[in-house]
Structure 1
Amino acid sequence: MRKVISFIILCFIFIWTYNLFINNIITLEEVKEKPYKGIIRIWDKPWDSITKGNHQEWLREKIRTFERRNPGVYIELTTIDKDSLNSSLSDNNISLADIPDIVPVNPNFRDFNILEPLDEYFTKEEVEQFKHQVLKSVKYNDSLVAVPIGVSTYVMYINLDKFNERGVSPPTNGNWTYEEFVDVLKKLTYDSDNDGITDEYGFIADIGNTYHIWGIILSDGSELFNRKRIEYNFYGEKAIRGLEKVIDLKEKYRVVPDYFGIINEKDVWELFYKDQKIAIAINGAWASKYLDQLYGNGEGFNFDIANYPTGNKELPIVLSDQVISYGVIKKEDPKKTEMCVKFLKFLTNEFNQRSLEKLGLFTVNRGIKDMYMDNIKMKRIEESMVYTEYIPFMDNWEDIIAIVQEEIRNAILGKKASYEAIEDAKIEIDKIKNKN
């Protein structure tokens, strides 16, 4: 009996000691570290080429909400132009305190190695929420180095009033082959005042500063970059054939002005919407809302949208760099990095993604499918985004694309044969690759 009583007493002492001391120690050890509190600096550059709207106010509104939900966190937003951003981030003399924490990232970013790999901050489920084509475009060396916030694309805009004046039917459901496209352009190119000089043209596009024309160049199956190896890949017979399709618009069919290949993006757009001397032009999705406003105010014209003409690939192709994404600069404070990622994740939640509709942008969340239900044209643009290929992150891409765009211009202006332009571009780009 005494042994039983002694055993009970020993058990009681052990349980009491465990609850009083050991359990308290374990509880103390399990206390989570306090989250980062302090200032987070964001440098951002204008989104004018993508939204033509007040995106800064949208971002400031999200910052204010995030600060309220995370007391002690203050986010400073500074607008900076592209050149100043690149020069500052590459300045070896700049102090750590002066470097921002979050920066905009696109294919022209100068040094992806200064960005924090973000894979460990995302669960598999969180990664799966992103549209796959968008997710691929924000990786560098197979690591997630930026968080996509919004996307856009390019489409062809057609002046329906001009189509009707000339008795030309727009493409059925916005789809046409290259041959059908050329046939339409011929009918829309003419001398409007009978002075012997053609002054109305079917089409024009910018060459050199945008990816507007690449949907035609790639329509026969060539690639500007290899999607598996993530490297420049524009050469060979398909590339030559695609480039000649663009050259033929000027030299063979004469459905574009003589200054095609010289005129810049701004002047192209003004010829289309302001002077109305061009029947078809290419621009970002933001232009749909803008043209709707002009038409509603009695200043514009009736318009519609169309896909890029198809070639041997039999699907419309769109090449775009219009992914808005942000990366986190590598620093020595993991708690701060975690808070930066938390903010970027916040921008991708369902409520904030739906609010992109105000800016004429599209969601990066593949689970959201009911945006722009009241805007037929924007809904059609959103549905056509399955054809869009986004430029991935590659070293020296800004230099590479400048070389190839210049050679394409040389070919269009008749300074070089198509095969010479493509070969010369490859030679110069190989020199860049061999330096690294």
Structure 2
Amino acid sequence: MLKTFKKKLGLVLMTTVVGTSMILGGCGAKKEAAADGKVEIQVMLKGQPHELEAYQKVIKSYESSHTNVKVKIISTSGDEYTTKIQAAIAAKNVPDVFYVNPGEVKAWVNSGVLADITEYVEGSTDVKLADLWEKGVNKYRFDGETLGKGAIYGLPKDLGPFGFGYNKTMFKEAGIPLPDKDKPYTFQEFIDVCKKITKDKDGDGQLDQWGTGLNVNWSSQQFIWSNGADFIDSTGTKVTVDTKEFAESVQYFADMQNVHGITPSVEQAQTLDTYQRWIQGQLGFFPVAPWDLGAFEELKFEYDVIPWPAGSTGKPSTWVGSLGFGVSKNSKNVKEATELAMYLSGDAQGQKELVDLKVQVPNNKEEAKRWAANTSIKPENKEEYLQIINEYGRNFPADATYNAEWYQYFFSNIQPVLDGKQTAADYCKEVQPKMQELLDKAIEQEKEAKANKK
């Protein structure tokens, strides 16, 4: 899924402009009124061409109703975006509106990059704050101590509930009862069903259909959380990967291949990744996020989404990702920039245009309900995405810490576990001290940043 995620965010875009032509280097220009006397707002975006096209339409609608504003779009590839926005920050030439990840909020507030836009958000006449997902807005709140509380420093571009799909056609052909959309499989039930699906269909002695195929970076958290474990404690100061429950979850993940044989082998995955195998109808279960729906519209099999398998807690769990619109603290037009960000985040008509392209769940709650009930949009059980947002979706573990190095370290050397050459328990005990060291370093960096800010 990691490869899929990068494909989604990293396709190279054409530089597209609304209004006067501009390249990234133009971020350094003085943000003065345009020649026609209009307020000029620069917005830096990344995304797929059709997604950018949708935002062009939304921005044109905004300009039509805000005749005193001219918007210039700066677009770049997903792979280049981070480098370019960091360069703009270093040069103090940040666009008026730009993307921010929840995990960047603390650092960018402390370093004076993000503007406090609470006043303008709460006073917006275009979009009401109450119309948006509270969980989405809270990802960009920060009170100086805790992420999720206090002032607003960004608005959600989207919420990405990471759902779990299954090949309904495969189940019907095998005569296996369809999964219950309201009751998750237990860990053992999931293994048992996957074993029934995994088979050599053409009789050549080689498996050509598997139960599932999951990427550890994006699909291990679900098993860890639902088994009552976590990467970090509630205080955000102690790494907890060395618990029994955590190791059990990671071992379960690795055993899907090494013990149960319900996933393609490493060699088979190199020949054809699991994303492509899902598209070709070779997998029974696979993650299906809202940004996948457009790409999956033409699948040659019927699919739907269900809860992720649940461990000892008996409750499913998964993450809800997000990307937000931030406003530069140095913008000469913070009010107008915030109005644009608010419009992009939650305008009802704009949300409809984005929904038509099947790239996200609407940020507008009422629009999201209509979207989930729309039977013309696959899959059938889109309500599951709303349940993830409302009931059991969680933030990434590193979102609330000053950086993600400690979290990323866990995945950097995990391959021996996935290959069956090291037990999960041994690995978790081995990496915990280094992860704790990196977390302690992040905590100290945050303290220093706060002190320097004062």
TM-score normalised by length of structure 2 = 0.75
Residue aligned with 1:324, SS: strand
Q: Structure 2 counterpart of 1:139, which letter? A: R
State the alpha-carbon separation in 2 of the partners of residues 265 and 257 from structure 1: 10
**Whole-angstrom distance in 1 between the partners of 2:55 and 2:235:** 34
Distance 2:292 2:73 in 1: 27
CA offsets 1:130-169 (integer angstroms, 9 cap, x no match): 3232233223444422101322322222222322332222
CA distance in 2: counterparts of 1:266 and 1:76, whole angstroms: 41
Matched, 1:103 2:103: no
Contact 1:88 1:94 in 2 (8 A): no
Counterpart of 1:254 in structure 2 is: 261
3-state SS in 1 of match to 2:175: coil
Find out whether 1:382 has 2:385 as its counterpart.
yes
Aligned partner of residue 304 in structure 1, secondary structure: strand
Q: For the structure 1 residues 43 and 430, does the alpha-carbon distance in structure 2 shift closer, same or farther, using more than 3 Å as the test?
A: same
Contact 1:217/1:246 (CA < 8 Å) preserved in 2?
Answer: no
CA drift of 1:315 comes to 1.6
The answer to whether the 8 Å contact 1:207/1:264 transfers is no
Equivalence for 1:328: 327
> Aligned letter for 2:361?
F
Contact 2:88/2:94 (8 A) holds in 1? no
Which letter maps to 2:387?
Answer: S
Shift of 1:265: 13
| Structure 2 residue aligned with 1:337 | 334
Which residue of the other structure, out of 193, 197, 216, is the alignment partner of 2:202?
193
1:184 aligns with 2:193: yes
Q: 1:366 to 1:277 in 2, by over 3 A?
A: closer
Which runs of structure 2 are paired with 1:8-407 in the superposition (5 Å)? 37-46=38-47, 54-91=50-87, 95-96=91-92, 98-107=93-102, 109=104, 111-113=107-109, 114-123=113-122, 126-140=128-142, 141=146, 142=149, 143-173=151-181, 175-208=184-217, 211-225=218-232, 229=236, 233-259=240-266, 263=269, 267-274=273-280, 276-294=281-299, 300-321=300-321, 323-331=322-330, 333=332, 336-347=333-344, 348-360=346-358, 361-368=360-367, 369-375=369-375, 377=380, 379-385=382-388, 386-391=391-396, 393-395=399-401, 397-407=403-413
Question: Identity of aligned pairs, percent?
Answer: 17
Q: What is the CA-CA distance between 1:58 and the residue it aligns to?
A: 1.3
One-letter identity of the residue aligned with 2:406? I
Give the counterpart letter for 1:316 in structure 2: P
SS in 2 for 1:377: coil
RMSD: 3.2
Structure 1 residue 397: Cα displacement: 4.0
Q: 1:371-428, CA deviations, whole angstroms, 9 ceiling, x for partnerless residues? A: 2422262533334323222337445544334312234433212343212322343323
Q: Classify 1:424/1:115 alpha carbon distance in 2 versus 1 (closer, same or farther; 3 Å).
A: farther
Counterpart CA distance in 1 for 2:272 and 2:363 is 28
Contact kept? 1:150, 1:353, Cα under 8 Å: no
Amino acid at match of 1:345: M
SS at match of 2:41: strand
Q: Distance in 1 between matches of 2:164 and 2:269?
A: 18
Query: 1:343 Cα shift?
Result: 0.9
* CA drift at 1:115: 1.4
> Does the aligned pair in 1 maintain the 2:236–2:400 contact within 8 Å?
no
List gaps (5 residues or longer) in structure 1. Answer: 1-33, 295-299
Partner Cα separation in structure 1 for residue 310 and residue 254 of structure 2: 16
CA distance 1:188–1:387, shift in 2 (3 Å): same
Q: Return the alpha-carbon distance in structure 1 between the equivalents of residues 411 and 198 of structure 2.
A: 26
For 1:412, the aligned partner's letter is L
Kept after mapping to 2: 8 A contact 1:134/1:390: no
Question: What's the CA shift for 1:101?
Answer: 1.4
